[in-house]
Structures are given as C-alpha cells and as structure tokens.
Amino acid sequence: MKDLNLALWGPSAAGKTALLAQLYIRSQALRGDWEIYPTPESLPFIERMRPLLLSGNLFPPATPVGTPERIVYRFRHRPTGAVASLHVEDRAGKESEELDDAGRERLAAADGLVLLFDPIPNEAELREQVIRTLERLHVAGNPGDKDPRPIAICLSKADSAVHTLDDARRVHESPDDFVRERMAPQLAGWIELFCANFRLFPVSAAGVRVRRGVVEPVVFYDEQLRFRIGQDGEPINLLEPFLWIFEQVEGRV
C-alpha cells in the first residue's frame, strides 16, 4: 500500500474536534489491525484534549476564530506495515464552512475524504450543508465528472439515534443502512449526483453504554448545565470510515 493522504472536513458544530481527539485517545480500544500515532503537528492538540476529556469529562470548546490548528495522524497496519496519513485543519466553524481556495486544494488533493455533518438540525439545513460542500469540492476537482475517490459521509452524534440493542448492533454491522433508514433517509440521493463511490456512517465520539440489556446514554449535563461526556461509553465508528477508505483505495490488506 502506498502512503495514503486522507482529509477530514466538517462544518460548524459537526463534532470534528471531539472525533479527532477521541480517535487518538481511544485508539487502543478500537477494533482492527490499525495503530494510530501522533505527529509533531498533532501533539499540542492531543496534550490539550487528553485532560479535558479524561479528567474533566468535558467536550472540547469551539475552536476560536483566527486560530486554525493543523493536525496530522499516522495510521500503521500492524500485519503489513502499510501507512496512511490523515491531514486536518481544525478551524472555527464559520471559517471551515467558507472552504477557501487553500482548503479546497487540500481536499481536492486527498486520496480519500471523510466528511462529517451534524444531523440534528432540520433536514433542509442538513441537505444544504451536504450539497454546498459537494458542489465546492466538485468545482475544485474535476467539473463535469463524479468524484471517483472513496468518500465517507459521516453523521455525527449518532448516539442520539441509538435506543435499542438492535440499534447498537446495526450501527456497527450495517452502518450505511442505519443512516439511510433511521437517520437521514434522503441523504444518499443528495450525494449520488457528485460522488461515484461513497458510504454513509453514523459516528459518535461519546457513544453509548449497554448495561443489562439496556442502551443508556453517556452524555449528561452537570449542575452548572455544562455538557459532559462519560468515560464508560463505547464510541461509535470512530475508525471505521477510515478503514473503509483504506480498503477502497488499495484493496483489503
């Protein structure tokens, strides 16, 4: 496998910062044969996020305007030694949504994309976010053709849609079907105009807990009405979108 270059992008409030932090912090507990390593660019981010999430049980605050942070993770496949890189610029929501020339060029140059959206706003707002993003990527890439790259379209905060044991099973075993049937039934139709190879994933940096056959949330408000994240939940599909892209680009390793 060649050294792959992946990129992740998400609009305001999509949960990108929490996903990136949990992807590394919880990497030892994730399934599969891939290891995740920090880089000099990502160490300040990791060192800031670890006590916030593990000791404070707090979600990351919104990224301040004018202070973009470059984050790079290295993925290594244990059995083969194959490597891949994930490149992200963590920007304030509005700055990220503008998708300037440099941002479009970075996404257009990637071998595969992970696009993260918040499904909680109304369907019209989600549709507008997805279509606007894909239109800009299309113009930055090959106008007139569908994007042939593997593109993982992820809906964050999927823990809010997991209520039963069947839900908890299906988010892992049938993630694409779960999104199409239970989270955003019209989403695939909006994407097919621009993408030749995509898959839908429900993701959650917080996850849920399954105890005595009952699905329980792990997010809660404290006495100061601060939103907190429990430590005993199982995050949902943090790594799976990236693994799918690896397999699509080079075949199953």
Of all residues in the chain, the percent with pLDDT exceeding 70 is 91
Q: Which residue has the higher pLDDT, 2 or 199?
A: 199
For residues 73 and 41, what is the distance between their CA atoms, to the nearest angstrom? 9
| pLDDT surpasses 80 at 31 | no
Average pLDDT over residues 91-110: 73
Structural domains of the chain, count: 1
Note the Cα 238 to chain centre separation in Å: 7
Highest mean pLDDT among 69-83, 116-130, 174-188: 174-188
Band of pLDDT at residue 38, cut at 50, 70 and 90: very high
For residues 123 and 185, what is the distance between their CA atoms, to the nearest angstrom? 10
For residues 150 and 246, what is the distance between their CA atoms, to the nearest angstrom? 9
Band of pLDDT at residue 108, cut at 50, 70 and 90: confident
Q: Can you give the residue range of the structural domain that contains 68?
A: 4-250
pLDDT tens for each residue of 213-232: 899 999 888 888 888 888 78
Query: Can you give the pLDDT at residue 221?
Result: 82
Q: Which residue has the higher pLDDT, 95 or 72?
A: 72
The three-class DSSP label of residue 82 is: coil
CA distances from residue 160 to 4, 62, 119, 206 in whole angstroms, order as listed: 32, 20, 10, 10
pLDDT tens for each residue of 125-184: 888 888 888 888 888 776 678 999 999 999 999 999 999 999 999 999 999 999 999 888
| pLDDT surpasses 50 at 253 | no
CATH number for position 49: 3.40.50.300
Average pLDDT over residues 105-134: 86
Which residues are paired to 195 by β-bridges? 147
Note the Cα 231 to chain centre separation in Å: 19
Q: What is the mean pLDDT of the chain?
A: 86
Tell me which DSSP letter residue 58 carries: B
